Amino acid sequence: AQSVTQLDSHVSVSEGTPVLLRCNYSSSYSPSLFWYVQHPNKGLQLLLKYTSAATLVKGINGFEAEFKKSETSFHLTKPSAHMSDAAEYFCVVSRGGTYKYIFGTGTRLKVLA
């Protein structure tokens, strides 16, 4: 069965420093992987998705993620954090050929001035 593990429930960074949000997945088949962001009192927004094309995926707002099959990881990064990046981030996996999307437990990102 598919699953995702977000290794950090909370991450704090200073504005202007890099962001790393970690995600490991488990899937018996070639997975598709996504990152969603949820700002306070707002809906969920897709940041980026990986669907077996290029392993380095670029998303919105300067975020990107790299699919590493050997490490079963799909970590989200951004070179320089902005105050507006403070939000909760969810890593999501779906197995190819299914319609099930399994969410991780989320990582709350705090950006310090």
Partner 1 sequence: SQTIHQWPATLVQPVGSPLSLECTVEGTSNPNLYWYRQAAGRGLQLLFYSVGIGQISSEVPQNLSASRPQDRQFILSSKKLLLSDSGFYLCAWSGDSHNEKLFFGSGTQLSVL
Q: Rule CB under 8 A: is residue 106 a binding residue for partner 1?
A: yes
**Closest CB 44 distance from partner 1, rounded Å:** 5
Tell me if 87 contacts partner 1 by CB under 8 A. Answer: no
Distance (Å, rounded) from C-alpha 90 to C-alpha 102? 10
Whether 24 contacts 113, CB under 8 Å: no
Closer CB to partner 1, residue 70 or residue 100?
100
Cβ at position 104, least distance to partner 1 in Å: 5
Helix (H, G, I), strand (E, B) or coil at 60: helix
87, 40 Cβ separation under 8 angstroms: yes
| Smallest separation (angstroms) from partner 1 to the CB of 105 | 4
Instruction: In angstroms, give the least distance from the CB of 15 to partner 1.
Output: 26
Cα 69 to Cα 66: distance, rounded to the nearest angstrom: 10
How many Å is the Cα radius of gyration of the chain? 13
- List binders of partner 1 among 16-75 (CB under 8 A): 32, 34, 36, 43-44, 46, 49, 51
Residue 6 backbone zone (phi > 0: left; psi -120 to 50: alpha; other: beta):
beta
The residues of the shown chain that bind partner 1, judged by CB under 8 A, are 6, 9, 32, 34, 36, 43-44, 46, 49, 51, 90, 92, 94, 96-106
